[in-house]
A and B are shown apart, each in its own frame.
Chain A
């Protein structure tokens, strides 16, 4: 059984990151047809999605990203063995190569915006009436539209690609991801701060740089 972390270029897989994978396993690289992947071998593995394991997965993907473009695999990706992994790389070669090109020299940044003050909708159910709740939800939706217009749109313009979550889970009123050139990160942050400062009823947080989890596939339209 193997556990796979990310898809990368053969050069990266020749010298896998010098850190440990899930359960302290050694990281290995596999090449197939101009594509490669970083994985580890396990006698048996049932990754429960504990924060520690998810963070271990994330750290490996970040280490791969330090040596070149990476397409992060979703947490929990296990395969029977190296042959199966090589077969997947072969079957999806064209799509994966395009995606690697798309993310080359880029990182992902996250943006979350919250109301600067708690809305009525966040009160305990006992503290509010149904009408309060509906009014507060309507206010949240207005804030989502507003944040999308004033924060997301200009940042999406600056980024190479972006993803906007349609229905952010409260209390967030905006959840978005941006594919940004590595040397444009500081400017992206500065722009986000400047935009957020103009809307003092919103608290915006930029996170990252992340591996490009949200940009492994072409946008579905």
Chain B
């Protein structure tokens, strides 16, 4: 049974998504001073989310490499 391991790996991915959601999507915004434009953030955020992947929710292990 690798269910526990898989769950632990899924939970780590959740934690990274949670960090990105917070640091890129929440927090105090100082208008006019962020040189990283909102469009940039959206793009980068999207690509990071793709890198991190959707959480492999307890799918049976099939070598899913996302």
Contact = CB atoms under 8 A, between A and B. Distances in A.
Interface residues of A, number: 51
B61 interface: no
Interface stretch (A109-117, A130-138, A186-194): A109-117
Contacts of B16: 51
Contact of A58 (B19, B29, B30, B36): B19
Contacts of B20: 51, 54
Give the size category of B's interface with A.
35 or more
Contacts of B54: 122, 169-171
Would you call the interface of chain B mostly helix, strand, loop, or mixed? helix
Nearest to B11: A205
A198 B55 CA distance: 22
Interface string A175-201: 100000000000000000000000000
A55 B58 CA distance: 26
A171 B57 contact: yes
A79 B57 contact: no
A217 B33 CA distance: 18
A169 B17 CA distance: 11
A75 to B, nearest CB: 4
User: 7 closest A-B pairs (Cβ-Cβ)?
Assistant: A76-B36, A213-B26, A49-B44, A213-B22, A74-B27, A75-B23, A72-B27
Interface of B: 7, 10-11, 14-24, 26-30, 33-36, 40-41, 44-45, 48, 51-52, 54-55, 57-59
Interface of A: 4, 7, 46-51, 54-55, 57-58, 61, 71-80, 84, 88, 96, 99, 108, 110, 112, 114-118, 122, 169-172, 175, 203, 205, 207-208, 210-211, 213-214, 216-217
22 contacts: A46-B36, A50-B48, A51-B16, A51-B52, A54-B23, A57-B23, A58-B22, A73-B27, A74-B24, A74-B27, A77-B34, A79-B33, A88-B33, A110-B22, A112-B14, A114-B58, A116-B57, A116-B58, A122-B54, A171-B54, A172-B55, A217-B28
